[in-house]
Structure 1
Amino acid sequence: MTADHSLSRLDDDDYPAYTMGRAADMLGTTPAFLRAIGEAGLIAPLRSEGGHRRYSRYQLRIAARARELVDQGTPVGAACRIVILEDQLEEAQRINEEHRDRVRPRGTADA
């Protein structure tokens, strides 16, 4: 593995760099919370060769949003569904914007 390849992982939001313990510590939560949101289908951590869960920065951001909702009193399952729907909405809005940019005649302003 080259140094350039190793350094590129530092910028990769999807690289599973964090162990469960480190992820829980960073989020101020417990490993049980991370397991619960995994079981609810919100995140699916990669597994190391030894079978340990590994989380990416993207997954930690998603988990942090779920934790915010849970801290506000939302049940874990409902919080996970809300975060999934928020993520889907954001993606749909991005796709719509890209589509608008492709079909908008040059020189016209947004309506």
Structure 2
Amino acid sequence: MVQVTAQSHRTTKADRFDDDDFPAYTMGRAAEMIGTTPAFLRAIGEARLITPLRSEGGHRRYSRYQLRVAARARELVDQGTPIDAACRIVILEDQLEDALRMNEQLREQNI
């Protein structure tokens, strides 16, 4: 993962409840949900950790997946990690998780 982006979806309204990538949350609501400020969300956007989808009016919209990523970055920042370093750590953690998952799949195929 280099960047987490919200994707435009053509789903039914009911499907959106289960879609982790559906950009359902405004900046204010997203910040409230993870206990931070809109400025923090803008900062991790500038650090290219997440890229929210923009509404037709230009407002940022965040998905649940993006909020989990932002919450992890916030956790690191709260522990004293500079924001750019926190974003890099989150990216590396995600890449490691992907690599471990792929490794496990390859092991299962060779059994």
TM beyond 0.5: yes
Give runs of aligned pairs for residues 68-107 of structure 1, distance below 5 A.
Answer: 68-104=75-111
The correspondence for 2:38, drawn from 31, 34, 44, is 31
Q: Deviations over 1:37-71 (max 9, x none)?
A: 00101001000001100000000000000000000
Amino acid paired to 1:37: I
| Equivalent position of 1:42 in the other structure | 49
SS at match of 1:54: strand
**What is the total number of aligned residue pairs between the two structures?**
101
Cα root mean square deviation, aligned: 0.9
Residue 5 of structure 1 deviates from its aligned partner by 1.4
Tell me, which stretches of 5 or more residues in structure 1 are unaligned? 105-111
TM-score in terms of structure 1 length: 0.89
> Are residue 61 (structure 1) and residue 64 (structure 2) matched?
no
Tell me, which stretches of 5 or more residues in structure 2 are unaligned? 1-10
Q: Which runs of 4+ in 1 moved over 2 A?
A: none
Q: State which structure, 1 or 2, has the greater radius of gyration over its C-alpha atoms.
A: 1
Q: Deviations over 1:48-97 (max 9, x none)?
A: 00110000000000000000000000000000000000000001111111
